[in-house]
């Protein structure tokens, strides 16, 4: 059995760890709450945009737009969002697994995949794996500003229109609810796939009271669709970064809460162990005194 001094040292170390993990939990909880509010507030906007796009693509007279369907390129691009810091449970590991799926699938179908990464942990992991990154996003913390999002989206739209890539996906941890998050890939380009994905998520999508043909359009459907498509790509990319940050913080809250609970449990065990050791030390001392008196 360890001596009382060693037990006290372990107790103090555990207490310090518990304070650190509790603080990290609190910090992440505040960030999570702030992001959760923005996420909840933005849902209506994404739903309305998805409804609008759905209405246009289901029109009797189809709209033809170069962003709508894949092109002949054999290159795919993925944006990977991870975290800058660790201690968030299995958050980054699930992202790594999804990247593996993409690289293996690309190899199997004879395609190339350009990986663009955000988050120091993911970048370091991919560098260690010897994966060549086509780009990194390091000029913003977690979520890009509106201007930065537009720059990112416009760069990929240009690549798509020039035939450099035929698909763009975002690998991110989707936030379903505080109890459920899952890594998935949202196909952002071509837009037909994005509309498909977003409309199945939108809360109210159908039935609509009116068809596309019932509306007066200003300007032409092609021009309207061009703007909607670009707006959808931009907002989806920003939405993915937002959900990824939200999932990271809730992951860290859960991981740190569990670490704090474990540390507290360990402190209880150590207190018992310390009392037992102290008691046996006192007993031994008493026995020594009694033994000496008898002699």
Contacting positions for another protein (CB under 8 A)? 38, 41-42, 44-46, 48-49, 52, 145-147, 209-210, 214-219, 223-224, 227-228, 231, 235, 238-239
Task: Please provide residue 265's backbone torsions phi and psi, each rounded to the nearest 5 degrees.
Answer: -65, -40
User: What CA–CA distances, in Å, run from 255 to 29, 30, 90, 162, 249?
Assistant: 12, 15, 9, 44, 10
> Residue 130 or residue 219: which is nearer to another protein going by CB?
219
| Alpha-carbon 189 to chain mean position | 20
> Residue 77 or residue 143: which is nearer to another protein going by CB?
143
What is the spatial distance between Cα 7 and Cα 169, in angstroms, rounded to a whole number? 52
> Residue 230 or residue 278: which is nearer to another protein going by CB?
230
- Closest of 5, 164, 2 to residue 70, by C-alpha: 164
> Residue 51 or residue 92: which is nearer to another protein going by CB?
51
243, 173 in Cβ contact below 8 A?
yes
What is the spatial distance between Cα 261 and Cα 266, in angstroms, rounded to a whole number? 9
What's the min distance (Å) between Cβ of 227 and another protein? 6
What is the spatial distance between Cα 255 and Cα 135, in angstroms, rounded to a whole number? 30
> Residue 13 or residue 146: which is nearer to another protein going by CB?
146
DSSP state of 211: -
């Amino acid at each position: 059995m360890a001596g009382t001094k060693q037990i006290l040292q372990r107790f103090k170390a555990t207490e310090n760890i518990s304070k650190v993990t509790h603080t990290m939990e609190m910090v992440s909880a505040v960030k999570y709450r702030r992001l959760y509010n923005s996420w909840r507030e933005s849902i209506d906007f994404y739903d309305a945009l998805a409804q609008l796009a759905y209405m246009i693509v289901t029109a009797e007279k189809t709209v033809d737009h170069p962003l709508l369907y894949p092109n002949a390129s054999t290159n795919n691009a993925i944006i990977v969002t991870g975290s800058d810091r660790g201690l968030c449970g299995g958050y980054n590991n699930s992202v790594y697994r999804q990247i593996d799926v993409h690289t293996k699938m690309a190899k199997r179908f004879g395609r190339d995949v350009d990986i663009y990464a955000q988050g120091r942990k993911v970048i370091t992991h991919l560098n260690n794996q010897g994966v060549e990154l086509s780009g990194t996003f390091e000029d913003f913390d977690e979520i890009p500003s509106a201007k930065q999002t537009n720059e990112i989206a416009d760069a990929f739209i240009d690549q798509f229109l020039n035939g450099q890539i035929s698909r763009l996906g975002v690998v991110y941890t989707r936030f379903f609810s505080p109890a459920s998050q899952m890594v998935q890939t949202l196909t952002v380009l071509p837009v037909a796939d994005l509309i498909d994905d977003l409309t199945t998520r939108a809360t109210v999508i159908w039935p609509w009271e009116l068809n596309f043909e019932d509306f007066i359009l200003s300007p032409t459907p092609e021009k309207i669709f061009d703007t909607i498509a670009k707006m959808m790509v931009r907002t989806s990319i920003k939405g993915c970064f937002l959900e990824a940050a939200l999932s990271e913080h809730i992951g860290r809250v859960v991981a740190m809460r569990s670490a704090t609970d474990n540390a507290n449990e360990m402190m209880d065990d150590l207190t018992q162990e310390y009392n037992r050791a102290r008691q046996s030390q006192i007993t031994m001392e008493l026995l020594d005194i009694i033994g000496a008196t008898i002699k």
